[in-house]
A = this chain, B = another copy of it.
Amino acid sequence: MSQSKAQSDLLPSWNDGVAKKSIVEFVGRVTKKGGRDFVPPADRIAVFDNDGTLWAEQPFYFQGLFVFDRVRALAPQHPEWKDTQPFKAVLENDMKTLVAVGLHGLVELMMATHAGMTTEEFERTVKDWLATAQHPKFKRPYTDLVYQPMLELLAYLRVNDFRTFIVSGGGIEFVRTFSERLYGILPEQVIGSSIVTKFEVREGRLVLVREPKLDFIDDHEGKPVGINKFIGRRPIAAFGNSDGDFQMLEWVTAGTGARFGLIIHHDDGEREFAYDRASTAGKLDRGLDEAPKRGWTLVSMKKDWKRVFAFE
């Protein structure tokens, strides 16, 4: 069995086609000792968006749904929320307004619902929610909605001495609660949006307290900035699905030497969801137009993935 055959066997949920071929060829090129495009292991860094790239993001970002549940749970203690946006919209299930306020509105909700919590309390709250909440369409825990082909891709890259990072617009401490368990990605390999935390003594114990103050938005132009801050080196491969990932792919593929960019197109309304240019979550417009001319691989979920979820 040839090496390339063995390698493509590590991606059983990918149909044979241009997308799978481009992945296997890229990995083959950068790992071939003495080859023109060889990249030493220390530089084999691959970055992945999370929402819509590693797990689903419809009907809305799961962290958004988590925060909405928190608003509902805490509303009795905050009667003023009934008349204050964006809280009002959550309590009235007014998705149109929520979408209009965008990521900054979500961050505001998040800060309000978690202000004053320690990092440990926050982690417990997220884990409790993940253990109990169900996805409205699939009637399963959100953590079941990870993409099987992407799990195989992560493992395939790691077998080839890549280090895999998540670069998410979502909250860094939210994603870290499940990244190791779901993806085998350690907390230190998760980059995301963040609020400020403060070191203090509480009831005689040292704790880190989450403050209602924005620290960093890891989306659009923020993604290359976050990558530079946390990784300090330009990755050679980037995987995303929305225009929020555009600058990350742009930054990664503008480097010298072999580079790889990939965008997942959610075009499978039957097995998952079909959405792109007009979506409220994971809008993909510019990326769809520019992927071909920039040499980025465009994945059709419908055609390229044999299987979407492990439970299928």
> Which residues in chain A, 203-247, are within 8 Å of chain B measured between CB atoms?
205-206, 208, 215, 221-222, 224-225, 228-233, 247
Instruction: Verify B188–A42 contact, CB threshold 8 A.
Output: no
Instruction: Verify A208–B225 contact, CB threshold 8 A.
Output: yes
Instruction: Verify B206–A250 contact, CB threshold 8 A.
Output: yes
**CB within 8 A of A208: which of B190, B205, B224?**
B224
Instruction: Verify B176–A251 contact, CB threshold 8 A.
Output: no
Instruction: Verify B232–A187 contact, CB threshold 8 A.
Output: yes
Residues of B with C-beta under 8 A to A232: 172-173, 176, 187-188, 190
Instruction: Verify B233–A221 contact, CB threshold 8 A.
Output: no
Q: 1/0 per position for A129-168, CB-CB distance to B under 8 A? A: 0000000000000000000000000000000000101000
Q: Which residue of B lies closest to A250 (CB)?
A: B206
Residues of B with C-beta under 8 A to A25: none
The reply to whether the CB of A294 lies closer than 8 angstroms to some CB of chain B is no
Q: 1/0 per position for A237-265, CB-CB distance to B under 8 A? A: 00000000001001100100000000000
Give Cα A206 to B227, complex, Å: 14
The reply to whether the CB of A50 lies closer than 8 angstroms to some CB of chain B is no
Instruction: Verify B229–A188 contact, CB threshold 8 A.
Output: no
A228 to chain B, nearest CB (A): 5
Among A79-87, A193-201, A272-280, which stretch is in contact with chain B? A193-201
Q: Which residue of B lies closest to A221 (CB)?
A: B199
Residues of B with C-beta under 8 A to A208: 224-225, 228
Given the contacts A208-B224, A254-B205, A186 and B42 also touching, CB distance less than 8 Å: yes
Q: Which residue of B lies closest to A222 (CB)?
A: B199
Give Cα A205 to B224, complex, Å: 14
The reply to whether the CB of A119 lies closer than 8 angstroms to some CB of chain B is yes
**CB within 8 A of A199: which of B163, B190, B194, B224?**
B224
Give Cα A187 to B233, complex, Å: 7
Residues of B with C-beta under 8 A to A254: 205-206
The reply to whether the CB of A180 lies closer than 8 angstroms to some CB of chain B is yes
**CB within 8 A of A230: which of B188, B199, B215, B247?**
B188
Give Cα A221 to B199, complex, Å: 6
Residues of B with C-beta under 8 A to A194: 229
Instruction: Verify A187–B231 contact, CB threshold 8 A.
Output: yes
Residues of B with C-beta under 8 A to A225: 197-199, 208
Can you list 25 A-B pairs with a CB-CB distance of less than 8 A? A42-B180, A165-B188, A172-B229, A172-B232, A187-B232, A187-B233, A188-B189, A188-B230, A188-B232, A188-B233, A190-B232, A197-B228, A197-B229, A198-B221, A199-B221, A199-B225, A199-B251, A205-B254, A206-B224, A206-B250, A206-B254, A208-B224, A208-B225, A208-B228, A230-B230
